[in-house]
Amino acid sequence: MARVFDVLDDLFGLPKHYVLAGLSVPTRSRGDVQTCTDWGSPVIWDGMFDPDHYDQEHRRNHSSVSLTVFAVGRYLDAYLEALLLSAERHFMVALPVTYYVFTDVPERVPDIQLGPERSLKVVRVQRHSRWQDISMMHMRAIADAIESQIRQYSRYVFCFDVDQVFVGRFGSEALGDSVALSRAYMETGDFYCHAAVFGGSWQTVKNMTETCYQTIMEDKENQMEALWHDESHLNKYLWLHKPSRVLSPEYCWSSDIGYRGDMHVTRLLWAKKNYDTLRVTV
């Protein structure tokens, strides 16, 4: 299907259109990368979209976004302020945004000066003795927050790891009913998706996180633990429930990996990590 779209675009010079979350938006083809999944969802790369068009359509539809992030233990002091400051410059700047910071130390959340139609809410969470449990319990906390608060204020939810920094536009072109970040393309199966970035409509993200939490607890009852913890459960969910939108590696990259000719821009970068000190729990 991707090749059919690309050939038609090359022959007639016409942009493709995808209907996502009630919006009809044009996308352009790129011949050097995969721009469509086998099930017909777009893979978003620079050069495929008109950012102003997306922003106008979403403003017209009164779209709003919640960003969730967990900053537990030493991760808060190491990363949270940089993430929030960079999000103010680059994340959904055309739309209303509410930040939800989940932490065990609410009093240490930095006081960030926010722009118009931007707000921040702090949610206290329990600190677990193992970092693996901290990671996996994210799913339950996100689902609870969507049910109790987020669904009242935001149409979309994006979930991020805290140890990242926005360095370029991460805008409304990324919004859809179910959004996954491509970490790799598998020779068999589908894309392998990164748990550092996922999102969608609040209804879809609520179902996604509730399902992942249920399968995590089923594993615990059977004294099992997935190899990559919450990311393994997320990938199983996305394999069974195909995302309506896949973000290219532009939307989460590591400078340690180096240069790639097909990446014209970088939008989100992994921060330097020192797990020996950050993952110490008490």
Residue 238 parent element (H or E) = helix 230-240
Contact between 82 and 165 (Cβ < 8 Å): yes
- The string over 76-89, giving b where at least 16 C-beta atoms fall within 10 Å of a residue's C-beta and e elsewhere, is bebbbebbbebbbe
Distance CA 32, CA 39 (A): 20
231 is in an annotated binding site: yes
CB 215 within 8 A of CB 236: yes
Ligand-binding annotation for 99, yes or no, is no
**Is 71 labeled as ligand-binding?**
yes
Active site residue 187: no
Half-sphere exposure of 151 (CA within 13 A, CB side): 13
Q: Which of 57, 107, 225, 231 is catalytic?
A: 231
Separation of first and last alpha carbons in the chain: 52
> In whole angstroms, how far apart are CA 189 and each of 90, 236, 239?
33, 11, 8
CB-CB contact of 101 with 109 (8 Å): yes
Burial class (CB in 10 A: 0-12, 13-18, 19+), 149: middle
Q: Is the dihedral of CA 4, 10, 14, 16 positive or negative?
A: positive
144 is in an annotated binding site: no
CA-to-CA separations, 27 to 35, 137, 173, in angstroms, rounded:
9, 37, 10
Are 156 and 79 within 8 A, CB to CB? no
250 annotated to bind ligand: no
Q: Is 57 annotated as a binding residue?
A: no
Active site residues: 231
Question: Residues marked as binding?
Answer: 70-72, 75, 161-163, 231
In the annotated binding site for Mn(2+), the residues are 161, 163
* Sequence ranges of the binding site for UDP-N-acetyl-alpha-D-galactosamine: 70-72, 75, 161-163
